[in-house]
Amino acid sequence: MYQLIDGKAISDQIKTEIAEEVKQLVANGGKQPHLAVIIVGHDGGSETYVAHKVKSCEQVGFKSTRVAFEEDVTEEMLLAKIQEMNQDADIDGFIVQLPLPGHIDEQKIIEAIDYRKDVDGFHPVNVGRMSIGLPCFVSATPSGILELIRRYGIPTRGKNCVVIGRSNIVGKPVASLMMQKGYPGDATVTVCHSRTANLKEICRSADIIIAALGSPGFLKEDMVKDGAVVIDVGTTRVEDAAAKSGFRLKGDVDFANVAPKCSFITPVPGGVGPMTIVSLLRNTLLAAKHNL
């Protein structure tokens, strides 16, 4: 029988831990951590994520600021706001919610953020520091995945870990972290992607599979060996007339058929998803403590 990895329960537990730390920090004369979020336009997904981020700040006792721009904001205006936040001593960390409208160069925006306030961990300085194992802000999803592995005590040393997907925000960083010295890490990592020739065989050799390609139900039972650990990072919105919102989230794993073969598996929703916000909160706390 497989064990379900309960990201919701773990994230609630971590929020309680963070709230406790904030209380002590403030009681000792420290500053209340402050996260600012910039959102552009009215993308439904982005608005929902940002609302969750702001609410989570409240839950743990952080101050939060939400700055919204219309879809037609110029790159210059956005860069000016970023400069202002870089220099604002009260703001410990801030993020620009992605994606941005097509007329704005996302990479330019990311690189304008002071890496010491880049709690998303997207700035090349943070990405570079992570890849050579230096203290840094690790981006939310990879950091959330590693925390789940740690809290469930899942063995990683010498294990074959297959990552499906090579995105900059999940596939590449999670592969890099899983191969690093220590725990969770010390794994033998293979990264598969859309041009991989023998994906099924590679997946069948995996002790741990991290599916992060954004293709609903992609990982099937014949691609998974008995006793594997499966981490599902997919969160594709699929239409669902029965749901209040008109859609539901579907992972990259064919859960019903894959789960019976697993030792551990994450559900969607309620697996990796809830962990991403606590990773952001944790980075903000680190920034507030100037621990980097």
Q: Which residues of the shown chain bind ligand GUN in the complex (CB under 6 A)?
A: 95-98, 120, 140
Which residues, other chains included, contact 98 with Cβ-Cβ below 8 Å and sequence gap of 6+? 46, 106
Residue 93's Cβ-count burial label (10 Å; 0-12, 13-18, 19+) is: buried
Nearer to ligand GUN, 79 or 98 (CB): 98
The structure tokens listed for 188 are 């033998």
CA distance 229 to 201: 16
The least distance separating ligand GUN from the CB of residue 263, rounded to whole angstroms, comes to: 28
The least distance separating ligand GUN from the CB of residue 122, rounded to whole angstroms, comes to: 7
53 is known as an active-site residue:
yes
> Which is catalytic among the residues 6, 15, 81, 97?
97
The least distance separating ligand GUN from the CB of residue 170, rounded to whole angstroms, comes to: 9
> Which is catalytic among the residues 6, 92, 118, 120?
120
Nearer to ligand GUN, 25 or 98 (CB): 98
CA distance 154 to 151: 8
Nearer to ligand GUN, 262 or 287 (CB): 287
The least distance separating ligand GUN from the CB of residue 140, rounded to whole angstroms, comes to: 5
- Supply the DSSP string of the chain, one letter for each residue: --EE--HHHHHHHHHHHHHHHHHHHHHTT-PPPEEEEEEES--HHHHHHHHHHHHHHHHHT-EEEEEEE-TT--HHHHHHHHHHHHH-TT--EEEE-SPPPTTS-HHHHHHHS-TTT-TT--SHHHHHHHHTT-S-PPPHHHHHHHHHHHHTT---TT-EEEEE---TTTHHHHHHHHHSSSSS---EEEEE-TT-SSHHHHHHT-SEEEE-S--TT-B-GGGS-TTEEEEE---EEEE-TTSTTSEEEE-SB-HHHHGGGEEEE--SSSSSHHHHHHHHHHHHHHHHTT--
Nearer to ligand GUN, 170 or 228 (CB): 170
Nearer to ligand GUN, 53 or 159 (CB): 53
Q: Which residue is nearest to ligand GUN (CB)?
A: 98
Nearer to ligand GUN, 19 or 98 (CB): 98
The least distance separating ligand GUN from the CB of residue 103, rounded to whole angstroms, comes to: 18
Neighbouring C-beta atoms of residue 146, cutoff 10 Å: 23
232 is known as an active-site residue:
no
The least distance separating ligand GUN from the CB of residue 171, rounded to whole angstroms, comes to: 14
> Which is catalytic among the residues 15, 53, 172, 250?
53
120 is known as an active-site residue:
yes
List active site positions.
53, 97, 120
